[in-house]
Amino acid sequence: MSLLRVLLFIIIFLLLISNSYAFDRKGFSPTAPFGIFSTFSTDSPKQNQLAIDFGIDISREPKINRFNLNFSYGLIDKMEIIAGLPYVFKYKNSFEQRGFEDIKFGIKHRIVEESTYLPSFGYLVYVVGELGKEEFSTEGGLGGGIILSKKIGPFKTHGNILYFKPDKEELHESWNLNLATELLLSYNSKMLLEILGRKSVERNKIDLLEWRFGYRIKITDFSYTTLGMGFDIKNRNPDVRFIFSISIVLPKDEPKF
C-alpha cells in the first residue's frame, strides 16, 4: 500500500521537470485482461491457459499508427510466459515509414499473495530481440521490474516499476513508473484508469507523462474488448492516443457453483 503511494508521488513529481521528445516505442506491455493498458497486474492466465491480445494504438503528435500482438501462456497459476510484437504501419503520415519494432519475451511470476493489509507482489524479467526497422529498434536488450496489486474498496489498484537496458550503444537505460486502477461496473464490464511516466532511451530525460482512461467489457466467457484514450500531461508527447484491443483466453474458465 505504501509503495503504491510512493509510485504516485514520484509520477506527480515528474510533472515538474524536463521536456523532451523521442520516437514513442511500444515497450513491453501486459496481455489483456491481465493488465491495464501498459500496467501489469499480478494476475496471470491459469495453468495451460493461453491469452491472445490484438491491439491498435493510434497517437497524434507524433503521428504513429501501430498494431500490437501479445501472447501469454500460464506455466502454473502464478507464472506466465509473455511475448509481444509491435508493428508500426504508419509513421509521420506516411505508410512508407512502417516496420516492426523489437520482439519481446518475458516471464511474470507472482510470489506473494494479497492479504488483508498487504498487496500481492510479483516480478517480471524479459529479453528484447532486434527485429525489423532500424529507426524503431533498440537492437535488443534486457529488462525487468516489480509489480504490486491490491484491492482497495471497490477498486483494484496496480503499481509497476520497470527497467530496460537497450543494447544500442547510443541509447540510455529506461525506467517506467506506472499506476493503474480498475473499477467493476457490472458483472462483465470495468472502468480503467492509468497514469504513467517514462524516462527516454534517447536521452536522460522524461519523454512520456500520460494519463489514460477506458472501458473493458467481457463479450463472451472467453473474449474481451478494451477501448481507451490517452492524454499527455504538461505538453509532452504524444498529446492524444487512441487504444483498442480484442483479447481471448482459452480454454475458458468453467463456471463455479
DSSP states along 105-126: EEEEEEEE---SSS-EEEEEEE
> CA 159, CA 218: separation in Å to the nearest integer?
23
Predicted TM-score (pTM) of the model is 0.87
Low-confidence ranges of the chain (pLDDT < 50): 1, 14-21
Q: In terms of DSSP bridges, do strands 103-112 and 189-199 run parallel, antiparallel, or are they unpaired?
A: unpaired
Handedness of CA 84, 7, 202, 20 (dihedral sign): positive
Secondary structure class of 172 (helix, strand, coil):
coil
Residue 240 · residue 48 · CB < 8 Å: no
pLDDT of residue 1: 47
Q: How remote is the C-alpha of 208 from its chain's centroid?
A: 13
Buried b (16+ CB within 10 A) or exposed e, 142-170: ebbbebbbbeeeeebbbbbbbebbbeeee
Task: Identify the H or E element spanning 83.
Answer: strand 79-91
> CA 249, CA 231: separation in Å to the nearest integer?
29
> CA 42, CA 253: separation in Å to the nearest integer?
18
What would the pLDDT profile of 145-169 be if each residue is shown by its tens digit? Answer: 999 999 998 999 999 999 999 999 8
Give the cell for residue 244.
483498442
Superfamily of domain covering 2-249: monomeric porin ompg (2.40.160.40)
pLDDT of residue 121: 98
